[in-house]
Amino acid sequence: MQERLNEEIQERHEADSTEANSARPHGSRVMRALYLTVGFAALILGVVGIVVPVLPTTPFVLLAAACFARSSKRFHDKLLANPIAGPIIREWIEHRSIPRRVKRWVYLLMALSFGGSILLMPSALYQVMLAVLGVILVAFIWRIPVRDIDTSA
């Protein structure tokens, strides 16, 4: 019985992965325009999040990919073809996880950006606020599943 349940879960996961990998634009022009606008806004916020320590990058890039999948196959494909964001997005779509090396980079960059920002803040209140935000963000990222990628293939 457990084997059958595992097979059903695997079949659902494969169906979800296939469905998620295919960019299917929405039928309504208005909704496509709305998705495209939200996608670009999310992508811009993701890029800004690279340099602003409190603003996370990855969730905004994933949101942009989801919006582009519903609005524009061209922009969705361009985002997936990006050498930096593409593999992370595909990993999330296919396995709902991030590679261990990416997670390590996230922790390092967060420590550098939050640490630098905390040192530059003149007020102890702001320093504490940044530290609390950093701890919350670390806890959020820690909960994201990790998948070790097989490099022998």
| Number of C-beta neighbours around residue 43 at 10 A | 20
- The more confident residue out of 68 and 152 is 68
Asked whether the beta carbons of 98 and 88 are under 8 A apart, the reply is yes
Asked whether the beta carbons of 109 and 101 are under 8 A apart, the reply is no
* Residue 99 bridge partners (DSSP): 147
pLDDT at residue number 147 = 81
The C-alpha angle 28, 20, 29, rounded to 5 degrees, equals: 10
Average pLDDT, stretch 132-139?
90
Structure tokens at 121: 């803040």
Looking at residue 85, the DSSP 8-state letter turns out to be H
Nearest to 64 by CA among 51, 75, 48, 53: 75
Asked whether the beta carbons of 49 and 57 are under 8 A apart, the reply is yes
Q: Tell me the whole-structure pTM to 2 decimals.
A: 0.60
Asked whether the beta carbons of 147 and 91 are under 8 A apart, the reply is yes
pLDDT tens digit string along 4-54? Answer: 655 655 555 454 444 444 567 777 889 999 999 999 999 999 889 888 767
Distance CA 118, CA 33 (A): 40
- The 3-state DSSP class for residue 99 equals strand
Range name among 57-61, 80-84, 137-141 with the lowest pLDDT average: 57-61
Q: Which secondary structure element, helix H or strand E, spans residue 96, and what is its range?
A: none
146-147 and 98-99: which strand pairing? parallel
pLDDT tens digit string along 66-115? Answer: 899 999 889 999 999 999 888 888 888 888 888 888 888 888 888 888 88
Is pLDDT at 62 greater than 60 in this prediction? yes
pLDDT at residue number 19 = 44
